[in-house]
A and B are shown apart, each in its own frame.
Chain A
Amino acid sequence: MNRKKLQKLTDTLTKNCKHFNKFEVNCLIRLFYNLVGGVERQGLIIGLDRNAFRNILHVTFGMTDDMIMDRVFRAFDKDNDGCVNVSEWVHGLSLFLRGSLEEKMKYCFEVFDLNGDGFISKEEMFHMLKNSLLKQPTEEDPDEGIKDLVEITLKKMDHDHDGKLSFADYELAVRKETLLLEAFGPCLPDPKVLIARWNLKLKYSKIQMNSMICEYLNVYIVSKRSWMYIEKSLKLLDFL
């Protein structure tokens, strides 16, 4: 990709993104193309497909739940074309790393609302929570605990008592208790991942290098202190 084009793309994306400055956007774009492994050619839109994206989520942001990662991918992939393009990438990361509580609430609700009908129903909750309890072999109904957990959650969050969570319910509950933001599964970067990871050893396989750069970026984005690391990672980018 030539400089001019990159410059132009950076400018456009910076304009639409409130949490990153120009330099940061630039970095993210370069990182994106590095991850994708090339720039777009005429007419051919390229981006991160589901598997690549899930890999990033797993390695970089410490997510493990398959279903939640799928949902995160869908939340990133605004145009629903099955891959995350460069603008979705920058937007998504902006929310991931710098998003305000409001933005995050919207995003999380979207992730949890599996069928996209604007409500989190009991069934959806059950689906999301079904692996959250240790199965007791002695129990007659292994799902009983989950059902009970769903009831507890509803009692806690369903303020209008209609048996499902609307965004208003959810928002009210989260404002009261921030811990409920990710009530049905971790869909945001783990806070402990975001906090400095200075001790990681460098290993020069391609994937690890990429994730390493991601981490450098995270470190930078979070702490604003690691200017040097960013430069170093950009140099590494050129190598690849």
Chain B
Amino acid sequence: MGLALAKLAQWTAAGHGAGTLEITPLNEAILKEIITFVESFIYKYPQEAKFVFVEPLEWNTSLAPSEFESGYVVSETTVKSEEVDKNGQPLLFLSVPQIKIRSFGQLSRLLFIAKTAKLKEAQACVEANRDPIVKILGSDYNTMKEDSIALNILDKITRDDDPEREIKKKIAMLLKQLDQHLLNHSLKHISLEISLNPMTVKKDIELLKRFSGKGDQTVLESIEYTSDYEFSNGCRAPPWRQIHGEMCYVLVKPHDGETLCVTCSAGGVFLNGGKTDDEEDINYERKGSIYKDLVTFLREKSPQFLENMSKQGISFNEEQQKEKDPLSEAPKKDEAAAFHKDISGSDKRSLEKNQINFGRNQMTKRLEPSLNWKTTVNYKQSKGSVKEIQEDKHTGKLEKTRLSVSLGRAQLRRKSAEKIEEIISDSSSESEEDEEPPDHRQEANADLPSEYWQIQKLVKYLKGGNQTATVIALCSMRDFNLAQETCQLAIRDVGGLEVLINLLETDEVKCKIGSLKILKEISHNPQIRRNIVDLGGLPIMVNILDSPHKSLKCLAAETIANVAKFTRARRVVRQYGGITKLVALLDCAHDSTEPAQLSLYEARDVEVARCGALALWSCSKSHANKEAMRKAGGFPLLAQLLKTPHENMLIPVVGTLQECASEENYRAAIKAGRIIESLVKNLSSQNEQLQEHCAMAIYQCAEDEETRDLVRLHGGLKPLASLLNKTDNKERLAAVTGAIWKCSISKENVTKFREYKAIETLVGLLTDQPEEVLVNVVGALGECCQELENRVIIRKCGGIQPLVNLLVGINQALLVNVTKVVGACAVEPESMMIIDRLDGVRLLWSLLKNPHPDVKASAAWALCPCIENAKDAGEMVRSFVGGLELIVNLLKSDNKEVLASVCAAITNIAKDRENLAVITDHGVVPLLSKLANTNNNKLRHHLAEAISRCCMWGRNRVAFGEHKAVAPLVRYLKSSDTNVHRATAQALYQLSEDADNCITMHENGAVKLLLDMVGSPDQDLQEAAAGCISNIRRLALATEKARYT
């Protein structure tokens, strides 16, 4: 017990004499064990419980005398037990607050009395009696003594044959057992903790400080404590935070990021809330995960730190080693010294003295708990008798191996902690790219497949073999199923990637070929890709592209093609000039003079170009790379390669072109470079993938009218139409329908498609297709619907029903397209009937609530023909509860397209007088008037129409005048758009029925403008303008008449 208490319990640093126990889980556990021991003592060993201690255990209790009951003589301030020793002294004597107890029986009883305060009492007892065993059994039994000596004494005791001694011996044994038990028990606790302490943290920070400063080579820009004051226990945190185990706060400024405010606590290192605005205070809340020490923390937070650390790694580690060594060395020396003294000192007293020294050493050494506990225990256990001490001369050595064992274990623990951190950081920090999945390493202890060990062996040969052995190992490694993730990860986990990449830097052609062949395969795995980039593999491969060996070029390009599937990798390729080199590879192919026989390890030029195109394809997914490719002159080469007959060459080439066609520059070049012709030709190829990419490229380019015409002229519409019938490959179908959609923007193309019966097929594709296909199909139908004939076809093929069904979807692009088609179909009364029957108008109307303005506008446009053509439209519109209010409120939108479409819808709604009355009540007039000041011709057109319609009700004409809508309307007449003119003239004609409006118009110079309009070839416009003038004129005449009469 004594030993455990002295060495295990964590005493506060506030001096040895009157130290108090820290409140730690470990201490608590120890105390609880002691309590259970003492509590049960009275039952288990009734005989021994009566044994009277040599000296009483004394401490200040918090128990009041009143709490003692039977068996005690209780007075106001004192309590005496009825139980007395031989001399009649009570075994328990309490004189508030001091208590003296002289037997285990009384101790047990006391604990019962204490009830909830047990722990407190036990703690007070242990604190006050730092060496309980001496007090209990007498100084012969000094706890710090060796067992051997204790045994010796025990021998003596037995020889004395004294019954009391017998009991003493028994108790000594029991206490020893407890001690042993406590040690074992607490060891479990210790091993669970990752505990930092002020000293190690301080050392870490000092070390980092030494490597910090300005300049690129240092690991950090600065590292500082938040507080200059250091408490005597080595902490810098304020006392009220120290109880949470926090030791200090550090401000760290890495080279590549914000200043981090970090908390170092006994439980680990973590990011806190940082300094608050009032300067002095820190937000102590934890903001990130806990790391085992400062260095690990910084490694995670700052890549630059990691890099510079690895550069300075060796020196840093050495320093750290040096720092650590004295720490672990010192106690060892002390121990060794103690041993030597043990050996030399034969008499008991000197031995005792040394033991005390030793104990003190143990106390001061409590800096690195886990290590020291370990050694202490081992030390203790290693000794059975005095004689053995002689042999322990070598303990120094022994100790060392043990130390390394425990170190190893600590590392293991650390490793698993790191693993967890890694996973956390992977999922959080890699926001960069979708295709970077969390890294999962194979569990070290999980059942590893046999391949793992075989691969590990091969990697060993790769590392330690010459060229010949390396080639054999590489060839043998290729025999594994490299497409399998286990093998891929095994290669990485045994450090194979580093070696493979390293081989690329040698000048052994065969090794490079072998290594690239493996890298090419395993880089299909996204994790491996990322590892390759992390290990700096890409720049090396980019350099290999310059190699004179064609097969090397090919393999390097293919590997790059695999690796460059994510943004970071593509960026690296570009930064190291890879794009230019890859473009140069394309150039090989036109050299038609190929040697008949290929030399060893060589590949054909065509193959080189193909691999180059593959890599460019991967790279061309980044905007900057497309630009770099264009600058490197990639386009003409791609165009040239497009003329080759090889399918496996065409796929990457067309794929690259398709990616690039998203750029305006490339589209222009494609148009000019006779590329469309080749694309169209390849649509008829047998390869599905090639067809897909060709269609995709056409889809990208066909936004341009000339391109659409080119597609038609080169006969591309027919193959597109025929590909529509092959619905098995959805990607291809999506590409083909996309191409058809864009091509059908041209009327001539639509005619062709009708000839090829494409419209019927498209209608057939309206069901059971993925969304990507549906969007394109509906888009294409939308374009075709502009013609009456096609609308009829759609109706006859039963296309209306599936179209209306699609109105309930959520895909924005799809909804825009569907509403467009439905609107176009609604133009036809017969189709309209079907739509009406299917409740399509209600569905359209509810789309007005869609959050996307495009959908809103498109739905409003579609509503116009619906209202126009529906039978009993007024009634239908009224039947939508809240519908009119909804649409009027849309006039508050700030999207011009939405406004124009809603104005158009209102024009149609207002044709019904009742509805007009309703929307007037909803305040349509002021809303429309507010919109009057606009320059957008489309909006002006529909707005003027709406105004003209809304004038038909009540005093709306006057109201428009009051809301100052007239003057802006007059200005519309100066616009260049005749549609605007007509609508405006009609609106003005309606408004001119009101005298005040006429005056406003006249004031704004409407008459002259209207006079011009009267001469317009547009009859409606003529009529409206003339009517308006006549109204104005009539008013003038009336005024004159009134004046003269």
B466: chain A residues within 8 A (beta carbon): 131-133
* B464, A177: Cβ atoms closer than 8 Å: no
Any B CB within 8 A of the CB of A79: no
Residues of chain B touching chain A, judged by Cβ–Cβ distance below 8 Å, are: 457-458, 460-461, 463-469, 471-476, 478-479, 507, 509-510, 513-514, 548-549, 597, 600-601
Q: How far is the CA of A184 from the CA of B470 in the complex (A)?
A: 11
Separation in Å of the A59 CB from the closest CB of chain B? 18
Separation in Å of the B976 CB from the closest CB of chain A? 69
Quick one: which of A133, A180, A191, A196 contacts B461, CB cutoff 8 A? A133
Separation in Å of the A181 CB from the closest CB of chain B? 7
Quick one: which of A134, A177, A190 contacts B475, CB cutoff 8 A? A177
* B600, A136: Cβ atoms closer than 8 Å: no
In the complex, 26 of the A-B residue pairs with CB atoms within 8 angstroms, ordered by the A residue number, are: A100-B597, A132-B469, A133-B464, A145-B460, A145-B464, A149-B461, A149-B465, A149-B472, A152-B461, A152-B472, A156-B479, A177-B478, A178-B601, A179-B474, A179-B475, A179-B601, A180-B471, A180-B472, A180-B475, A182-B468, A185-B468, A190-B509, A191-B509, A191-B549, A191-B600, A195-B549
* B479, A192: Cβ atoms closer than 8 Å: no
Any B CB within 8 A of the CB of A55: no
Q: How far is the CA of A178 from the CA of B475 in the complex (A)?
A: 10
Closest to A99 in B: B600
B465: chain A residues within 8 A (beta carbon): 132-134, 149
A27: chain B residues within 8 A (beta carbon): none
Any B CB within 8 A of the CB of A148: yes
Residues of chain A touching chain B, judged by Cβ–Cβ distance below 8 Å, are: 100-101, 104, 128-129, 131-134, 136, 145, 148-149, 152-153, 155-156, 177-186, 188, 190-192, 195-196
Closest to A134 in B: B464
Q: How far is the CA of A104 from the CA of B457 in the complex (A)?
A: 31
A180: chain B residues within 8 A (beta carbon): 471-472, 475
Closest to B469 in A: A132
Q: How far is the CA of A192 from the CA of B512 in the complex (A)?
A: 12
Separation in Å of the B505 CB from the closest CB of chain A? 14
Closest to A222 in B: B599
A195: chain B residues within 8 A (beta carbon): 548-549
B600: chain A residues within 8 A (beta carbon): 101, 104, 178, 181, 188, 191
* A152, B471: Cβ atoms closer than 8 Å: no
Quick one: which of B461, B479, B507 contacts A145, CB cutoff 8 A? B461
Known A-B contacts A178-B600, A179-B514, A180-B475; the reply to A192 vs B509 at CB < 8 A is yes
Separation in Å of the B36 CB from the closest CB of chain A? 51
Known A-B contacts A178-B600, A178-B601; the reply to A133 vs B471 at CB < 8 A is no
* B469, A183: Cβ atoms closer than 8 Å: no
B597: chain A residues within 8 A (beta carbon): 100
* A186, B475: Cβ atoms closer than 8 Å: no
Separation in Å of the B478 CB from the closest CB of chain A? 7
* B472, A153: Cβ atoms closer than 8 Å: yes
Known A-B contacts A100-B597, A129-B468; the reply to A152 vs B473 at CB < 8 A is yes
B458: chain A residues within 8 A (beta carbon): 152
A128: chain B residues within 8 A (beta carbon): 468
Q: How far is the CA of A132 from the CA of B549 in the complex (A)?
A: 25
B472: chain A residues within 8 A (beta carbon): 129, 149, 152-153, 156, 180, 183
5 extra interface residue pairs, beta carbon distance < 8 Å, beyond A191-B509, A191-B549:
A101-B600, A104-B600, A132-B466, A179-B601, A180-B472
A191: chain B residues within 8 A (beta carbon): 509-510, 549, 600-601
Closest to A155 in B: B476
B457: chain A residues within 8 A (beta carbon): 148
Quick one: which of A132, A149, A178, A192 contacts B507, CB cutoff 8 A? A192
A149: chain B residues within 8 A (beta carbon): 461, 465, 469, 472-473
B510: chain A residues within 8 A (beta carbon): 179, 182, 191
Q: How far is the CA of A148 from the CA of B454 in the complex (A)?
A: 11
Q: How far is the CA of A188 from the CA of B471 in the complex (A)?
A: 15
* A186, B467: Cβ atoms closer than 8 Å: yes
Closest to A190 in B: B509
Q: How far is the CA of A136 from the CA of B468 in the complex (A)?
A: 18
B474: chain A residues within 8 A (beta carbon): 179
Closest to B511 in A: A179
Quick one: which of A101, A181, A184, A196 contacts B548, CB cutoff 8 A? A196
B479: chain A residues within 8 A (beta carbon): 156
B601: chain A residues within 8 A (beta carbon): 178-179, 191
Separation in Å of the B519 CB from the closest CB of chain A? 15
A192: chain B residues within 8 A (beta carbon): 507, 509
Q: How far is the CA of A153 from the CA of B461 in the complex (A)?
A: 12
* A133, B467: Cβ atoms closer than 8 Å: no
Q: How far is the CA of A101 from the CA of B602 in the complex (A)?
A: 12
B467: chain A residues within 8 A (beta carbon): 186
Separation in Å of the B456 CB from the closest CB of chain A? 12
A148: chain B residues within 8 A (beta carbon): 457, 461
Quick one: which of A134, A152, A183, A190 contacts B468, CB cutoff 8 A? A183
Closest to B548 in A: A195
Q: How far is the CA of A181 from the CA of B599 in the complex (A)?
A: 13
Q: Most chain-B Cβ atoms within 10 A of its Cβ — which of A133, A188, A190, A196?
A: A133
Known A-B contacts A148-B457, A192-B507; the reply to A129 vs B548 at CB < 8 A is no
Q: How far is the CA of A104 from the CA of B513 in the complex (A)?
A: 19
Separation in Å of the B470 CB from the closest CB of chain A? 8
Separation in Å of the B796 CB from the closest CB of chain A? 62
Known A-B contacts A148-B457, A178-B600, A179-B514; the reply to A156 vs B475 at CB < 8 A is yes
Known A-B contacts A191-B549, A192-B507, A195-B548; the reply to A152 vs B476 at CB < 8 A is yes
Separation in Å of the B551 CB from the closest CB of chain A? 9
Q: How far is the CA of A102 from the CA of B423 in the complex (A)?
A: 53
Closest to A188 in B: B600
Quick one: which of B464, B468, B473, B549 contacts A186, CB cutoff 8 A? B468
Q: Most chain-A Cβ atoms within 10 A of its Cβ — which of B463, B466, B507, B601?
A: B466
In the A-B complex, the 8 residue pairs with the smallest Cβ-Cβ separation, listed nearest first, are A134-B464, A132-B469, A191-B509, A132-B466, A152-B476, A132-B468, A195-B548, A133-B465
Separation in Å of the B641 CB from the closest CB of chain A? 26
Separation in Å of the B453 CB from the closest CB of chain A? 12
A101: chain B residues within 8 A (beta carbon): 600
Q: How far is the CA of A152 from the CA of B467 in the complex (A)?
A: 16
* B471, A179: Cβ atoms closer than 8 Å: yes
Q: How far is the CA of A183 from the CA of B466 in the complex (A)?
A: 12
Q: How far is the CA of A186 from the CA of B510 in the complex (A)?
A: 10
Separation in Å of the A103 CB from the closest CB of chain B? 11
Separation in Å of the B594 CB from the closest CB of chain A? 14
Known A-B contacts A178-B601, A181-B600; the reply to A129 vs B476 at CB < 8 A is no
A155: chain B residues within 8 A (beta carbon): 476
Q: How far is the CA of A82 from the CA of B460 in the complex (A)?
A: 41
Closest to B454 in A: A152
Q: How far is the CA of A212 from the CA of B994 in the complex (A)?
A: 108
Q: How far is the CA of A210 from the CA of B39 in the complex (A)?
A: 100
Closest to B457 in A: A148
Q: How far is the CA of A178 from the CA of B513 in the complex (A)?
A: 10
Q: How far is the CA of A156 from the CA of B514 in the complex (A)?
A: 15
A152: chain B residues within 8 A (beta carbon): 458, 461, 472-473, 476
Q: How far is the CA of A195 from the CA of B599 in the complex (A)?
A: 12
Q: Most chain-A Cβ atoms within 10 A of its Cβ — which of B473, B475, B548?
A: B475
Separation in Å of the B463 CB from the closest CB of chain A? 8
Closest to A176 in B: B475
Q: How far is the CA of A74 from the CA of B475 in the complex (A)?
A: 28
Q: How far is the CA of A132 from the CA of B472 in the complex (A)?
A: 11
B513: chain A residues within 8 A (beta carbon): 179
B468: chain A residues within 8 A (beta carbon): 128-129, 132, 182-186
Separation in Å of the B779 CB from the closest CB of chain A? 51
Separation in Å of the B509 CB from the closest CB of chain A? 5
Q: Most chain-B Cβ atoms within 10 A of its Cβ — which of A132, A186, A195?
A: A132
Separation in Å of the A148 CB from the closest CB of chain B? 7
Q: How far is the CA of A186 from the CA of B478 in the complex (A)?
A: 21
Q: How far is the CA of A101 from the CA of B597 in the complex (A)?
A: 10
Q: How far is the CA of A188 from the CA of B468 in the complex (A)?
A: 13
Closest to A194 in B: B599
